[in-house]
Structure 1
């Protein structure tokens, strides 16, 4: 691998980005937009309530609160390649097993574990490894990484919809599981490496041609925080809790938006298009947010993300026509794109590469908690009130609070 990395006509870090991006693409087998397409047929076939279905996603979030720190530690201890490889392999198994999960307890076990993989090993490992291979272009490569995820957000729900229409929801889960293995297993196994230094390279690809003094200056400017130091800063917790709030909103919306648009009198096709369209806009948005996070202080980018999410979710209660559903879902997708891209860039920029896996393991617990609460909260509000309106307006207020938290998260100083 050392020989290959040095013989390529381009920086090997781009191979890392592609391989990690494929793992992010396939994680959508357990995505909230994907399960949103399954809610109606599974509800009708099995007689489960929406709260019960959403509860499986919340279980995965709760498991991730404990699992995320272990994942972050494992990324630093054993290497990202093995974390991603195990994550992708197990995700394929859990997705296929959902075809037989006709009892609520088996559904919770399978999808809950799939959500654990969705929120833990795969995104932590992928974002940590690309942030180690790139420093100056960190915003852009994280944008590309989460663009791959956003493509999956668009592709997996619509492919699931097609499979459900042609084969039924049970066969659809099997086909999605096969897609996970087909796209990601081999690239992760063969190409992922922990850091550029492991193959005799330096971050960003162009620093190898600099003088020793220039390289020393770049290295000395990079922040180096260990986990204990990082968790003692106010900025870490403002970012972590704020990100948790954004994921609460995202989970509480994505999990239910397909069913919500149908409740609003729109067709199943328009509902599926709105859900997939949200993923398409997220894909476009990831690249823009990655660029923005390099051009402005990252806390301003974070606040802008929260503002877009707050505004878009505040518009959801007005969506009772086809065009409104498509526009508001698309705007929400743009906000979700920023939520995916900007926090990983902020953690790496603020705290450096040396202990990034362990630091991300700590912060992802907040993310997982938000996801766990959001999905079941929206389902509960619907089951009690018969509408999602109170949940959506509450999410808009929470998004406004997160804007202020982001603005307050200044770069920490030792």
Structure 2
């Protein structure tokens, strides 16, 4: 009879985390390299930069719009099926980009296909699967590993893309990335929910999707979480898109902007893992409030002090620690309040708020700069939103919400 000791009990969670993190690394990496393809694709097709930028904006928005639906499907039919479809869509979108010679074709391949692919194969689906498959003591740490893996994908794929574009060309690089996306299919097998741990055995497993949504929408703490996560997306998109030109405006070289973004990705690994570990030990609402207050202080210091290479690189490291460290406590709060049954869908709705913030952060940065010639107003909004989100997260009630079907069942006397 095989052993059933502690070593075997921990083997499955480790396999789940490793495969989930590999998927997060693979799917987040190519998206982070989009800026490297902007110039060669635009030059090859004779476009202005606005065409590819619009494709990227469509991708970002559809990722957020599709996330709740992909999460709901994953909760009902299993994460493995959603990941497989997402991986296939991602591979198709990347493979079609080299032959997308018209703007509408590029909007479809890079925007629609990859946008919906990310909603089905990104770390949000993986976090939901972790919530169902991992023991409670592994859960928040698993959320941190999944988030850090996405950052490692950014750190890994950026130099890989740059070298491949230079050596074999941008078309071939996209085809190589498309082939890599097919690895999502076998890796997703480890994230299939075992029959012994089916949906009906999870807390809230007797709920319908409509009941779960009604329960979440009637919970004030859930709305506070949704509102607070908007700021994270606003920060990420604005800094990713507009920090390099901001530094150039301040007289720094483009290389400093590149190194600053690289430091964000590197330090984000540390921040995500640390946040995941702390989320299992400290109140998650306090961690979120602390992250947003720290962002307000750091952004204020960066904007109001003289901008030099040293302060830019220090800002990159500091904001990297706070970059995606909001995800483990945010997803952990969803799991704490509502349980794992519909976690992927409910977290997807919270993530939609994040992506709306991302869309506005990138878009308003360009609009304000065109109107005023600087980014001062957007930096001020970043600080104000940080303080708002810190205050909004503090009153969140960090406790399970009693499921309605269970309450009704208890209230009926036995016959």
- TM-score exceeds 0.5: yes
1:308 maps onto 2:308 in alignment: no
Shift of 1:277: 1.6
State TM-score, norm by structure 1. 0.82
Query: Is contact 1:36-1:258 (8 Å) kept?
Result: no
SS in 1 for 2:351: helix
| In structure 1, C-alpha distance between the alignment counterparts of 2:46 and 2:19, rounded to whole Å | 40
Query: Is contact 2:289-2:393 (8 Å) kept?
Result: yes
Higher relative contact order (CA 8 A, sep 6+): 1
| In structure 2, C-alpha distance between the alignment counterparts of 1:315 and 1:8, rounded to whole Å | 50
1:129 maps onto 2:111 in alignment: no
Relative to structure 1, the CA distance from residue 159 to residue 310 in structure 2 (aligned partners, 3 Å threshold; closer, same or farther) is farther
SS in 1 for 2:33: helix
1:399 maps onto 2:386 in alignment: yes
Relative to structure 1, the CA distance from residue 322 to residue 286 in structure 2 (aligned partners, 3 Å threshold; closer, same or farther) is same
Shift of 1:178: 3.3
In structure 1, what is the equivalent of residue 107 of structure 2? 108
Shift of 1:148: 0.8
State TM-score, norm by structure 2. 0.82
Relative to structure 1, the CA distance from residue 38 to residue 378 in structure 2 (aligned partners, 3 Å threshold; closer, same or farther) is farther
Shift of 1:288: 0.5
| In structure 2, C-alpha distance between the alignment counterparts of 1:314 and 1:287, rounded to whole Å | 25
CA RMSD of aligned residues (A): 3.3
Shift of 1:64: 3.9
SS in 1 for 2:177: helix
| In structure 1, C-alpha distance between the alignment counterparts of 2:239 and 2:153, rounded to whole Å | 18
| In structure 2, C-alpha distance between the alignment counterparts of 1:330 and 1:284, rounded to whole Å | 10
Shift of 1:5: 13
Q: Which residues of 2 match residues 11-410 of structure 1 at below 5 A?
A: 11-31=11-31, 33-39=32-38, 53-113=52-112, 114-132=114-132, 133-182=134-183, 184-188=184-188, 190-194=189-193, 197-198=196-197, 226-317=212-303, 320-410=307-397
| In structure 2, C-alpha distance between the alignment counterparts of 1:275 and 1:330, rounded to whole Å | 9
| In structure 1, C-alpha distance between the alignment counterparts of 2:231 and 2:97, rounded to whole Å | 29
| In structure 2, C-alpha distance between the alignment counterparts of 1:167 and 1:382, rounded to whole Å | 36
Runs of at least 5 residues in structure 1 that lack an aligned partner in the other structure: 204-218
Relative to structure 1, the CA distance from residue 336 to residue 116 in structure 2 (aligned partners, 3 Å threshold; closer, same or farther) is farther
| In structure 1, C-alpha distance between the alignment counterparts of 2:38 and 2:377, rounded to whole Å | 21
| In structure 2, C-alpha distance between the alignment counterparts of 1:239 and 1:379, rounded to whole Å | 28
- Number of matched pairs: 390
Shift of 1:263: 4.6
| In structure 2, C-alpha distance between the alignment counterparts of 1:102 and 1:196, rounded to whole Å | 47
Query: Is contact 2:86-2:119 (8 Å) kept?
Result: no
Query: Is contact 1:68-1:364 (8 Å) kept?
Result: yes
Runs of at least 5 residues in structure 2 that lack an aligned partner in the other structure: 403-415
Question: Which structure has the larger Rg?
Answer: 2
Relative to structure 1, the CA distance from residue 391 to residue 195 in structure 2 (aligned partners, 3 Å threshold; closer, same or farther) is farther
| In structure 2, C-alpha distance between the alignment counterparts of 1:295 and 1:13, rounded to whole Å | 19
After TM superposition, the structure 1 stretch with the greater mean CA deviation from structure 2, 22-31 or 275-284, is: 22-31
Relative to structure 1, the CA distance from residue 191 to residue 110 in structure 2 (aligned partners, 3 Å threshold; closer, same or farther) is same
